[in-house]
Amino acid sequence: MSNYANAADVLPPRLLEEVRKHWRGYLWIPGENASSQKPETVALIQSGMDAGQISAALGISRSRVYQIARSLGAQNPLKKKPPRASAEEEHRETPGEPSPPLKT
């Protein structure tokens, strides 16, 4: 089942007419569990679960998990990891140890 539909295809005509009185354009209708989604997601984030596990457990996207995590500010344990060091940086000589040759 698609998450998107033409309102004219899914709403009774009288309801569609009422909606048109109030809104023109795209309209998001949250699911029934939307109000409980954030507290449950926050609890799982704080329990140490990763975004993929939370996404699967709650049936929400990873993007939504990260969006909720960002709302935690400094308390966000899902902050992005620092970028990985380049091959040259990984092969730099450390004091007392010779550097392995770089592959070309």
- Report pLDDT digits (tens) over 20-76: 999 988 887 776 666 668 889 999 999 999 999 998 998 888 988 998 999 888 888
Work out the number of other CB atoms within 10 angstroms of the CB of residue 82: 6
Find how far residue 87's CA is from the centre of its chain: 30
Residue indicated by tokens 């698609």: 2
pLDDT tops 60 at residue 8:
yes
Residue 12: its pLDDT value, please? 95
Give the closest residue to 90 by CA, choosing from 81, 80, 99, 78. 99
pLDDT tops 50 at residue 1:
no
The answer to whether the beta carbons of residues 75 and 48 sit under 8 Å apart is: no
Residue 2: its pLDDT value, please? 54
Dmax (CA) of the chain: 80
pLDDT tens, position by position, 64-92: 899 899 988 888 888 765 455 555 555 55
Q: Which residue has the higher pLDDT, 95 or 4?
A: 4
